[in-house]
Chains A and B, each alone.
Chain A
Amino acid sequence: MQVRRFRFSEALAFALVTAALACPTTARAQACCAGAGALTPGRLAPHEDALVGIQSRASSVVGSFDDGGRYAASPRGVGELDFEQDLFGALRVLRHGQVALLVPFVETRRRTPSDGAAFGGGIGDVNLSARYDFFLAGVSRTLPGIALLGGVTLPTGTPVESARRSLAVDATGVGAFQGNFGVALEQSFGAWLLNLTALVAKRAGRNVQGVDETLGTQLVTIAGVAHSFPNDAALAAFASYSIEGDATINGADAAGSARRIFLASVSGVWPITDHWRIQGSIFTNPPFSSFGRNMPATSGLTYTLVRSWM
């Protein structure tokens, strides 16, 4: 089996896939309610040895889904804007293996009729992740690219109970270790690249304010397609669906606490030089009933700048 060479645009499409994938798994309505992430915006393309970058994210909470999946728009007079700046880097440590580090800075602005507006933030939960590609997409017509993913998120942020500012706007983390494991399948067809990723996430339990709680196991499924163009730009569309079981409170199942959320994202990448690229995306939780459960609905955008070394 002969390994073919990747066009630069195809390699960028790989990178774009990662950027787009990173949105569904790390985009969060509130810093206090994040899911674990094994994907960062900084996946190395096959020809890259290292990269660093920054991703800026802004999103707005437009409504919420109740425990029956019914959507309700946010009432007049209330609002929430969430911002995040992620510093990330990735390094190839094996021919097919790479590790990544992501350091988030999180800010939140909330407004309510009774409290007015408040703004705060700080460093969020740092994430370490690794990826190993057993096969690369496009190497074989019948065998897709197969990769294993793993990640751990450290409770370096400020959990809600430690927040000091009004409306807990300075909460930046979940207050617990999180870990996950996943499998990614990819296949290329000319300028097209298809991706299917599944992640399982577990959050460690914690005892806060006399409540011993463990969030349920989370399963995230992501499907997407990317298309690269002759000028090395690329576009991608992704959808993710996250399901999570009931939480456990003081050893008992907390009925009705399970979560669901669907997210759709469109992304683009534009190469500035061989070493610099910019990426952008828009994402949304469709504000319609049955697209979520026990979750806020958000819409937002990201902007990413990456510097890579080959």
Chain B
Amino acid sequence: MRRASIIAAMTLAAACGGSSSDDASGAGFPRDPYAVATSDSGALHIEVRTAPTQPPPRGTCTIELFVTDTTGAARDGLTIDVVPWMPAMGHGASVKPTITARGNGRYVLTNVSLFMPGTWELRTTFSGSLSDHASASIPIL
């Protein structure tokens, strides 16, 4: 497997108005993604949204991953494991997020503890109908 390719982009529209929540996903997340990432193989596209605010606050938050394939179709049935990690600090979080599949390509991570300021990565492993990996960067103030 080639080296993890990290393509995370901040979405300016999502970065402002930290508490905006138009409930587009039906789970209290904003319409616009906070970050996007492409998996190592290029087969998956992941949009990241955060709650209760976007950008996420320091502390415990909820994160939605919207997973689609190269055609833009939502990918359900994936087994997802997410490890929050601070690459500059050399550690992760003390709490493992709980992941719930909501359907239509949406996976919700609860109890995501981003307790320190700095850049966190959501190191995400996909398994099930395919095996892949992706990381999205989440800056925390």
Interface residue SS majority, chain B: loop
Cα(A258)–Cα(B90), bound, Å: 11
Q: Which residues of A contact B (CB under 8 A)?
A: 30, 32-33, 61, 63-64, 66-67, 72, 74-75, 77-78, 110, 112-115, 159-164, 167-168, 171, 174-176, 203, 206, 208-211, 213-215, 247, 249-250, 252, 254, 256-259, 294-296
Give the size category of B's interface with A.
20 to 34
A112-B57, A115-B59, A209-B83 are contacts. A63–B92 as well, Cβ < 8 Å?
A: no
Q: How far is the CB of B6 from chain A (nearest CB, A)?
A: 8
Task: Report the nearest A residue to B91, measured CB to CB.
Answer: A160
- Which residue of chain B is the closest to A293 with respect to CB atoms? B88
A-B contacts besides A167-B113, A258-B88, A295-B118, 14 pairs, CB < 8 Å? A64-B141, A112-B115, A114-B52, A114-B57, A161-B94, A174-B90, A176-B90, A208-B92, A215-B90, A247-B87, A256-B87, A257-B87, A257-B88, A259-B88
A46 and B96 alpha carbons, distance in the complex (Å): 52
CB distance from A43 to the nearest CB of B (A): 29
Query: Would you list which residues of chain B between 68 and 110 have a CB under 8 Å from chain A?
Result: 83, 85, 87-94, 96
Contact of A113 among B59, B83, B85, B116 (CB under 8 A): B59
Structural contact, B58 and A30, CB atoms closer than 8 A: no
Highest count of chain B CB atoms <10 Å: which of A64, A162, A247, A256:
A64
Q: Which of B57, B88, B94, B125 contacts A67 (CB 8 A)?
A: B88
Determine whether the beta carbon of B88 is less than 8 Å from that of A252. no
Complex interface bits, B95-137 against A, C-beta within 8 A gives 1, otherwise 0: 0100000000000000001011111000101000000000000
Q: Is the CB of B57 within 8 A of A252?
A: no
Pick the most buried of B89, B90, B117: most chain A CB atoms within 10 A of its CB. B90
Q: Which of A63, A64, A159, A211 contacts B85 (CB 8 A)?
A: A211
- Asked if A213 meets B87 with Cβ closer than 8 Å, knowing A114-B57, A161-B92, the reply is yes
Q: Is the CB of A252 within 8 A of B4?
A: yes
